[in-house]
Amino acid sequence: MDVFSIIAEDKIRRAMEKGEFNNLPGQGKPMKLEDLSHIPEDLRMVYSVLKNANIIDDIDRLKEELMTIDNLIDLCENNDDLNRLKKQKHEKQLRFEALLNKRKTLDSPASAFYKKRVLERFKNNTKNK
């Protein structure tokens, strides 16, 4: 065990003795672990960051809603309902495009430095495997 693990374990033990972990939300309930087996191993960290920022959830949800609306449009026979569905689809598409544009801000000059460092680290990690 390295020094940092020993320090961390000691701090956790002391906090438990002081009762700092008592009455936490979700205490005694099983953790909801997400199955990331469908995501390539080298992209799981990025996926987790985007998911924690609610970017992926929103995009996935909007994709599903757009597919549902498309299916309903294909089956729709009433003009009023058809117009309402087309309006909903347009609104969802605008929201979807806004989220994609938000994701593109990661390519801004302000984040170029960090992006370069992350890509370098990623390349170094894949070479070492």
Q: Which residues, in sequence order, are CB contacts of 118 under 8 Å at separation 6+?
A: none
State pLDDT tens for residues 69-102.
999 999 989 999 999 999 999 998 998 888 777 7
State pLDDT tens for residues 11-20.
999 999 999 8
Paired tokens of 97 = 């495009």
Q: Which sequence spans correspond to the domains of the chain?
A: 39-104
What's the pTM? 0.44
